[in-house]
Chains A and B, each alone.
Chain A
Amino acid sequence: MIEIKNLHKSYKMGKNSLHVLKGINFNVEEGELVSIMGSSGSGKSTLLNILGMLDEADEGSYTLDGVPIKNLNEKLAAQYRNKFLGFIFQSFNLINYKSALDNVALPLYYQGVNRSERMERSMAYLEKVGLAAWAHHKPNELSGGQKQRVAIARALASDPKVLLADELTGALDSKTSYEIMDLIQQINDEGRTILVVTHEEDIAQMSKRIVNLKDGVIIDDRKITQVRAIQNV
């Protein structure tokens, strides 16, 4: 599903340049649930942003579902993001004046799906994350866990190949975190490929594979026995 080879990224700051990713190689197969770990500043978010086509690598190749991702203009990047990827952020990034339902429907709007179908499909995803009753509430009327569920429904709405989640439980207490991870596991059980950036060991243990980053290189990459989140709830 994802193949990256020799990925390099540095940030220029004035005269200095900060080499953040120093030759990353790794592959993700369809249906995997991978957590990316590492200390703060190790380049986890940078890697995820490149995978999410929100940022571009300086060097190396990236292939997503057989499509080489390179020389993207903004328009093409937007189309690929819409078609291939679903994002889940630590701070949810919901649009606060839109209802939960309208937030979920947004990727479909940019896919050109008509309104009634948008609403129907979005409602189905809200149901899936257990928030059908909250469809017409604004984000500020929802708890953190509920917001993240809406964000997950939104990430799923466009039926993407890969879900990318950056610290998705970072703003949640542990009980809510596990509930969210349970949802993530269920979605993964259905076959969806998911990458999760986290620095919490217990969250990482709920994935099927842990990739450890340090100073811009992968120092460890191993499959693990998944801990089911439901047991901790």
Chain B
Amino acid sequence: MFSLERWQEVFETISKNKLRTFLTGFSVASGIFILVILLGVSVGFQNGIESQFQNDAENIINVYPGRTALSYEGFNKGRRIQLRNEDYEVVTENSKQEIEFKSPTYQIYAGLISHGNNSGNYRVEGVLPDYQYLEKADIIEGRFINANDNKAKEKYAVIGNRVKKDLFEDESPIGKYVQVSGLNFKVIGVFTDPGGEREETRIYVPINTAQIVFGAGTDIRSMGFTLPKEENYELALKQSNAFAAQMERMLKTKLQIDPKDESALFISNNIENTKEIYVLISAMQIFFWGVGIATLLAGIIGVSNIMLIIVKERTKEIGIRKALGAEPLSIVGMILHESIFVTAISGLFGLIFGLVLLEIVGPYIELDFIKNPSVNFNIAVSTLLLLIAAGAIAGFFPAWRGARIKPIDALRDE
């Protein structure tokens, strides 16, 4: 259908009718451009909402120990369960689900912390680097704990903004020391937490350090996990329930707890809280796709109209071609070919222009509800395919009209 000869013919026609080609192309390019920007803004909205609506990572799963309510395998009921590093490792090493962020914790709730003459009681929490994401702690100065700090059992502390204000007032705490249980900890970072001031009254230290300083051995108090984000709420729910159930089974076996015991381990799974966000985001996506498709449709109708006018304007030419031996199918082919070619090329321009704009300007956009608008590769590719289809649809009606032109009518001298 797309023979080389016809390529030459089509190319000649469009290059010798530049204004016409430009007008058609321009309407397609701007349609696609708008579509890309819309999709980008939709992603931006999604990013914005995600960062607005979450104080803690939305899909966090926490495990706390309790006391047994049932006697089991020779153990009396009422036994206090203690989680240890090895339990954490069992979960992380054997989970069938992919874990995104993970950290055990060991904390004391009212540690006396001081710096110079200032002091206060704050929660001191031993954690791993991932904990920053589990808690959504935003570092405003310095850095969070990293893996080396923990391995080397450094006495480093990352303090909440409230703690910083209490102890350091206006000075920068980075590189200075705070006393925790009589030991000097070097402050390496300050964080804020979207959860509010209460969560900023904490001090994070490497968990290995905390276990030593507080004489905890390998004890941990809880562990937290998040799973990667899923396409939709149903899938996320399924994954997180499967993860929680599997973890419960593994821990109960390891810790010799009756599978029916409901008070020995508490697994809090707040996936249900994320439902609204998922719903909101998908509604948003549907909305933007809807607007985008409507834009594109308007573009297609526009192009189709232009092509119709072009066909009308070319009635005589088509009549001449037919008189000289053009078959109806070749007229259809010629018009469709032109339409698809012009749509695809100019659409590509619009697409690239839109993508480049998003790429350059996107990262600078950080409004309350729009953050880093961007379009991913798949969407760009599907837009491109959509384009070619659009060209075919836009060209079809005019092509059909063209094929029906009777040479005798077209050539009648007026």
Residue ranges of A at the interface with B (Cβ–Cβ < 8 Å) = 49, 52, 54-55, 74-75, 78-79, 81-83, 87, 89-91, 93-95, 97-98, 102, 106-107, 109-112, 114-115, 154, 158
Please judge, given known A-B contacts A81-B323, A115-B5, whether A75 and B329 are in contact too, CB under 8 Å.
Answer: yes
Those 8 A-B pairs whose CB atoms lie nearest each other, nearest first: A82-B325, A110-B325, A54-B408, A97-B16, A78-B327, A107-B324, A75-B327, A93-B320
Does B316 sit at the interface, judged by CB under 8 A? yes
Does B65 sit at the interface, judged by CB under 8 A? no
A-B contact pairs, 26 of them (CB 8 A): A54-B406, A54-B411, A74-B328, A78-B325, A79-B325, A79-B327, A81-B325, A87-B324, A89-B413, A90-B413, A93-B319, A93-B323, A97-B17, A98-B16, A102-B12, A106-B320, A106-B321, A109-B9, A110-B324, A110-B325, A110-B330, A114-B5, A115-B8, A154-B324, A158-B324, A158-B325
A residues within 8 A CB of B327? Answer: 74-75, 78-79, 110
- The answer to whether A78 and B16 touch across the interface, beta carbons within 8 angstroms, is no
For the A-B complex, the count of residue pairs with Cβ-Cβ distances under 8 Å equals 68
A residues within 8 A CB of B325? Answer: 78-79, 81-83, 107, 110-111, 158
- The answer to whether A78 and B322 touch across the interface, beta carbons within 8 angstroms, is yes
Cα A32 to Cα B67 in complex, Å, equals 116
Identity of the chain A residue whose Cβ is nearest the Cβ of B408 in the assembled complex: A54
Interface core residue of B8, B316, B323, B408 (most chain A CB under 10 Å)? B323
- The answer to whether A89 and B324 touch across the interface, beta carbons within 8 angstroms, is no
B residues within 8 A CB of A74? Answer: 327-328
Does B13 sit at the interface, judged by CB under 8 A? yes
Chain A nearest Cβ from B356, distance in angstroms: 34
Cα A107 to Cα B16 in complex, Å, equals 20
- The answer to whether A54 and B324 touch across the interface, beta carbons within 8 angstroms, is no
Interface core residue of A55, A87, A97, A98 (most chain B CB under 10 Å)? A97
Residue ranges of B at the interface with A (Cβ–Cβ < 8 Å) = 5, 8-9, 12-13, 16-17, 316-317, 319-330, 406-408, 411, 413
Chain B nearest Cβ from A188, distance in angstroms: 21
Cα A114 to Cα B413 in complex, Å, equals 32
B residues within 8 A CB of A98? Answer: 12, 16
Cα A112 to Cα B5 in complex, Å, equals 9
Cα A158 to Cα B326 in complex, Å, equals 13
Cα A123 to Cα B115 in complex, Å, equals 98
Cα A95 to Cα B16 in complex, Å, equals 12
- The answer to whether B13 and A78 touch across the interface, beta carbons within 8 angstroms, is no
- The answer to whether B5 and A109 touch across the interface, beta carbons within 8 angstroms, is yes
Chain A nearest Cβ from B410, distance in angstroms: 9
A residues within 8 A CB of B322? Answer: 78
Identity of the chain A residue whose Cβ is nearest the Cβ of B413 in the assembled complex: A91
Cα A83 to Cα B408 in complex, Å, equals 18
Contact of A97 among B9, B13, B324 (CB under 8 A): B13
Chain B nearest Cβ from A81, distance in angstroms: 5
Cα A26 to Cα B326 in complex, Å, equals 29
- The answer to whether A93 and B316 touch across the interface, beta carbons within 8 angstroms, is yes
Cα A107 to Cα B329 in complex, Å, equals 16
Contact of A87 among B9, B12, B17, B323 (CB under 8 A): B323
A residues within 8 A CB of B413? Answer: 89-91
Cα A115 to Cα B12 in complex, Å, equals 13
Chain A nearest Cβ from B342, distance in angstroms: 16
A residues within 8 A CB of B411? Answer: 54, 89, 93
Cα A114 to Cα B329 in complex, Å, equals 19
Cα A106 to Cα B323 in complex, Å, equals 11
Chain A nearest Cβ from B251, distance in angstroms: 77
Chain B nearest Cβ from A17, distance in angstroms: 18
Chain B nearest Cβ from A227, distance in angstroms: 27
Cα A49 to Cα B408 in complex, Å, equals 8
- The answer to whether B321 and A54 touch across the interface, beta carbons within 8 angstroms, is no
B residues within 8 A CB of A75? Answer: 327-329
Cα A107 to Cα B327 in complex, Å, equals 12
- The answer to whether B324 and A106 touch across the interface, beta carbons within 8 angstroms, is yes
Chain B nearest Cβ from A108, distance in angstroms: 9
Please judge, given known A-B contacts A93-B316, A98-B16, whether A110 and B408 are in contact too, CB under 8 Å.
Answer: no
- The answer to whether B326 and A110 touch across the interface, beta carbons within 8 angstroms, is yes
A residues within 8 A CB of B408? Answer: 49, 54-55
Cα A126 to Cα B286 in complex, Å, equals 61
Identity of the chain B residue whose Cβ is nearest the Cβ of A91 in the assembled complex: B413
A residues within 8 A CB of B13? Answer: 97
Beyond A102-B12, A110-B326, 5 additional pairs, beta carbon < 8 A: A54-B406, A75-B328, A87-B323, A93-B323, A94-B320
Cα A81 to Cα B12 in complex, Å, equals 24
Cα A93 to Cα B328 in complex, Å, equals 19
Chain B nearest Cβ from A51, distance in angstroms: 12
Chain A nearest Cβ from B320, distance in angstroms: 5
Chain A nearest Cβ from B80, distance in angstroms: 90
